[in-house]
Amino acid sequence: MAYQNIAASLSPQDIQEIKAALQTVQQKMPFLITLSTEERRKLVKMGDKSLAFVNNSITAAQSNREILPSTFDVEELVRDYQLAATLTELLISMQQLTEQVDDTLMAVGSEAMTSSLTVYDYVKTASKKTPGLKTVAEQLGERFKAMGKGKSAKTPVS
C-alpha cells in the first residue's frame, strides 16, 4: 500500500494488549538469551545456506552412528536444528513487523515534525506583533540552536 498521511491512534487498552502479547511471546520462549559482542564474534555462524548443510549432517549422523563417539548426541543435534529452523521462521515474521513499525514511526514522526515546523514558522512571525509569543518562539527555537547559522529551520534533524 502506498504511503498516505497516517491518521491513527492506539488506545491505552490496545497498548496494554500489545505489550501483553509481546510478553506472551517472550514467555513462550524462556530459553532466549542475550549474547555479548564478544560471544557473538566467537560463535560459528549458521545462515540460510548452512541450514541445508546441517540437515545433511543430521542424515549422515543418523545413518552412521557407529562412526561418531558414543558421547555425541544425535538427538540434541536434531533438536538444535529444528529449533534453529523454527526460530528462523519466527524471526522473519518479527523482522517484517519491526520493519512496518519502524517505517510507520518514521512516517508519522515526519508528519509531526513537518506540522511542528509550520507552527514554529507561524509563531516566529506572529511573535513580532503578538505579545507573549516571543518566549514561545524562543522555546521552540531551542531545537535549532546547534544547527548553526547556515541551515534552515526546515532542515530535518533528529
Residue 153's nearest CA partner among 126, 105, 142 is 142
CA trace torsion 108, 113, 114, 116 (10° rounding) = 130
Give the model's pLDDT for residue 102.
Answer: 97
3-state secondary structure of 4: coil
Task: Determine phi and psi for 13, rounding to 5 degrees.
Answer: -65, -40
In-domain check, residue 72: yes
Range of the domain at 127: 46-146
Q: Is residue 37 scored above 70 in pLDDT?
A: yes
What share of the chain in percent tops pLDDT 90?
A: 81
> Mean pLDDT of all residues in the chain?
91
In-domain check, residue 13: no
Q: Is residue 2 scored above 80 in pLDDT?
A: no
b/e sequence 125-139, b meaning 16+ C-beta within 10 Å:
eebeeeeebeebbee
DSSP string, 69-115: -TT--HHHHHHHHHHHHHHHHHHHHHHHHHHHHHHHHHHHHHHHHHH
Instruction: Return d(Cα 57, Cα 55) in angstroms, integer.
Output: 5
The residue-averaged pLDDT of 96-108 equals 97
Is-contact 149 155, C-beta < 8 A?
Answer: no
In-domain check, residue 18: no
Residue 54's nearest CA partner among 33, 29, 83 is 83
User: Between 158 and 104, where is the model more confident?
Assistant: 104
28, three cell numbers: 513462550
Give the model's pLDDT for residue 145.
Answer: 84
Give the model's pLDDT for residue 114.
Answer: 94
The residue-averaged pLDDT of 2-30 equals 94
- pLDDT for 106-151, tens place per residue? 999 999 999 999 999 999 999 999 998 999 999 999 988 877 655 5
Domain count, the chain: 1
The residue-averaged pLDDT of 94-104 equals 97
> Counting Cβ atoms within 10 Å, is residue 3 exposed (0-12), middle (13-18) or buried (19+)?
exposed
pTM score = 0.75
What share of the chain in percent tops pLDDT 70?
A: 92
